[in-house]
Structure 1
Amino acid sequence: MRGSYLLGVVAGLALVGCTPEPSARPEGSTSSSPTATVAASPTESTKTTAPAPQPVRFDAARATADVRHLAGRIGPRLATAPVYDRAARWVAGRLRSLGYDVSRPSFPVPAGDSWGAPVAAGRSSNVVAEPAGFDPSRPHRLVGAHLDTVAVAPGAEDNASGVAVLLELARLAAREEPGAPTVFVAFGAEEPRGPGDALHHFGSTRYVRTMPRAQRRALVAMASLDRVGVGRTVPVCTGPLSADRVQRAVLRTARRIGVPAAPCENTASDHWSFEKAGYPVVRFGSTPYAGYHSAGDVPAVVSTAQLGRTGRLAWAWLRTGTPAR
């Protein structure tokens, strides 16, 4: 009897020794014990809510600094002069630094009269900035501003102001995708070398003529920034040939964001080259001012507030969806 009892005790001890401890349960198993705890994963324990990204904003002070550089440090930029090449290289470098694919196609410009100054024939160039991965066969917009001046003018308002706004818009579009892919072009040789269309708008005319067929079908709107730093109201112009839906869209945007704007009509900028080719266009700017085409077109002429109004309006429009052509 005593032997049987001892054998039972030994067997019981053996069974206890073979039973797994609660902490040694297989991986992935769960416990129904009310005192069991599950440690938070490292990711869960350190997870925080990321702050919402802030919308990018047009920086009028940055644009003003660019006006001062172009019209103050560089000065008059006759399209066929070496100083124009200096300005074009500077603009191209700025756009490349933003991540754009930049090219500088050149073209001939005839001799003529640059607002009273005889000028020889030569070559000029456009500065073309396309977003990385740009597909010219897909719907897109183009924003342009002429970089050249007449022979005697530093060209602060005409047209460092437009180029400065273009550079700032390109910066915003590189940080926040606009409503449609946008190509930015600083045009050469917009200023006339005599009367009539044949002696005006050389760079934009060249661009339109050399567009690949797929891009001709895909371009849905062109906007020109020309003399955009004077006044308190943003002129929103189109020519007599263009459907006015882009102009109306910009004016609606102006009312929505509270920027004073007024419709107008003219053919005196690079939008005219595109309008004649059948594209819907808009021109920002054209307020008269005393220093027009003279040595008095200096940075002090340009208003930072007006650059801001124009830039905010243009950016708000670019953020909208692509209009049908």
Structure 2
Amino acid sequence: MRRREFAVGLAALGVAGCTAPEENEPASPTPTAPSRPPSASPTPSASPTPTPTATPTPSPVPRPARFEVATAVAVITELAGRIGPREASSAGYREAATYVEGRFTAAGLDVRRQTVRVPAGVSWGVRVPSGQADNLIATSPGFDGTRPHLVVGAHLDTVPQAPGAEDNASGVAIVLELARMAVLRPPRLPVLFAAFAAEEPRGDGDLRHHYGSRHYLAQLPAEERRAIRGMVSLDRVGTGPNVRVRTGGRAALTVADALVATGRRVRIATSRGTNRGSDHWSFEKVGIAAARVGGHGYAGYHNANDKPNLISRPQLTRTAALVWAYLL
């Protein structure tokens, strides 16, 4: 971290002035000083009053760019504990979006909402209505989407019956922490952070999935799309013995390769695989190198047991450390 040193200096200057008599004004007679008795002691001169010195105001010490697992767990507890299921067209999703927007803003990022229309359908065996949900797009002030940058995202919605601690409050919590850290220590490339809406299926097939990330890319100008150097989707990152890195197999493997190489460098175990079940797939389909981080199987998958007690703090820390090292 850079340390800024501030020095405060104050100087005081006193000026005394005399005024001469105006022309034609009679001068006052000069008084004769009385004679001093020989035995009289001289009058001591007064000591000058010292000028007070201002005490420098200490500058605030910035927080280090360090992953705070307790903060991530608090986010998971809020989303999956207090708010609960966040199906994309529900009031729960809208409350969760407001909460996450506030966290991005508090970290010092600018947040833009994108409205995504979602159709009625069946999500993991439960009928869901049509409606709309918002993507949250967060960037540092001055971000220029036409310049080379990275995208790091996580889906905010859940299937209707699940509180979604692992799927996917865990991914959202790490995205929020990485965003906060990136404000304190800018990565090698600017990063656009996203909480995507409506990733969960609303029916069978590719076109009934990943609505938020598909909408984001569909409205993105060609120049900004070309400026994306890679995308990481954090999806189910709070359980498992290592950090899974997976791709859909369509675009270049540069992001996945870099993540695995970073894992070797910082001594974080990774495992490779193929997967098209998260928002990275939307980016791969338009030719952008992307990878999903996360996705170990667990007992609470898409059911009412997906609660905060399932989350492993060491796994959150490993995952965040890997992606942060990749961003740097």
Q: In the alignment, does 2:197 pair up with 1:188?
A: yes
Please state how far the C-alpha of 1:146 moved relative to its aligned partner.
Answer: 0.1
Counterpart for residue 206 of structure 1: 215
1:97 positional shift? 1.2
Instruction: Report if aligned partners of 1:140, 1:181 keep a CA contact under 8 Å in 2.
Output: yes
The residue aligned with 2:135 is 126
Inter-partner Cα distance in structure 2 for 1:292 and 1:53:
39
For residues 215-249 of structure 1, give each alpha carbon's deviation from its aligned partner in whole angstroms, at most 9, with x where no partner exists: 01111101000000001200011111021121111
SS at match of 2:174: helix
Look up the match of 1:82: 91
1:252 paired with 2:289, answer no
Q: Which residue of 2 aligns with 1:289?
A: 298
Residue 199 of structure 1 deviates from its aligned partner by 0.4
Shift of 1:174: 0.8
Structure 2 residues not aligned, in runs of 5+: 1-54
The question of 1:159 aligning with 2:174 is answered no
Matched residue of 1:126: which SS?
Answer: strand
| Contact 1:238–1:266, Cα closer than 8 Å, also in 2 | yes
Cα pair 2:64 2:184 within 8 Å, conserved: no
1:127-171 residue CA offsets vs partner (Å, 9 max, x unmatched): 110111011110000001000000010000000000000000001
Q: TM-score, normalised by structure 1?
A: 0.81
Could you tell which deviates more after superposition, 212-221 or 53-62? 53-62
Aligned partner of 2:183 among 169, 174, 178: 174
Q: Which of 95, 98, 109 in structure 1 is aligned with 2:107?
A: 98
Question: Alignment partner for residue 142 of structure 1, among 140, 148, 151?
Answer: 151
Match of 1:58 in 2: 67
SS of 2:193's equivalent in the other structure is strand
Distance 1:66 1:107 in 2: 24
Deviations 1:96-122 (A, max 9, x none): 111111011102100000111111111
Amino acid at match of 1:113: V
State the AA in 1 paired with 2:318: R
Q: CA RMSD in A?
A: 1.7
Preserved CA contact (<8 Å) 1:60 1:311? no
Look up the match of 1:112: 121
Corresponding residue of 1:72: 81
Does the CA contact (< 8 Å) of 2:65 and 2:182 recur in 1? no
Q: Which residue of 1 aligns with 2:238?
A: 229
- In 2, the alpha carbon distance for the partners of 1:103 and 1:55 equals 26
- Give the structure-2-normalised TM-score: 0.80
Tell me what 1:24 maps to: none
Identity across matched positions, percent: 51
Corresponding residue for residue 277 of structure 1: 286
Q: Is 1:262 aligned with 2:271? A: yes
Instruction: Name the aligned partner's letter for residue 100 of structure 2.
Output: V
Q: Equivalents in 2 of 1:277, 1:68: separation in Å?
A: 35
Structure 1 pair 258/55, CA: closer, same or farther in 2 (3 Å)? farther
Check whether the contact 1:80–1:123 (CA below 8 A) recurs between aligned residues: yes
Residue in structure 2 matched with residue 10 of structure 1 by the alignment = none
CA distance in 2 between counterparts of 1:54 and 1:255 reads: 28
Contact kept? 2:116, 2:197, Cα under 8 Å: no
Structure 1 residue 213: Cα displacement: 2.2
8 Å CA contact retained: 1:157, 1:302: yes
Among 229, 252, 268, the residue aligned to 1:220: 229
CA–CA separation in structure 1 for the residues paired with 2:164 and 2:140: 28
Partners of 1:157 and 1:301 within 8 A in 2: yes
Runs of 4 or more off by more than 6 Å in structure 1?
Answer: none
Amino acid across the alignment from 1:148: D
Structure 1 unaligned blocks of 5 or more: 1-45, 320-325
Question: Which residue matches 2:17?
Answer: none
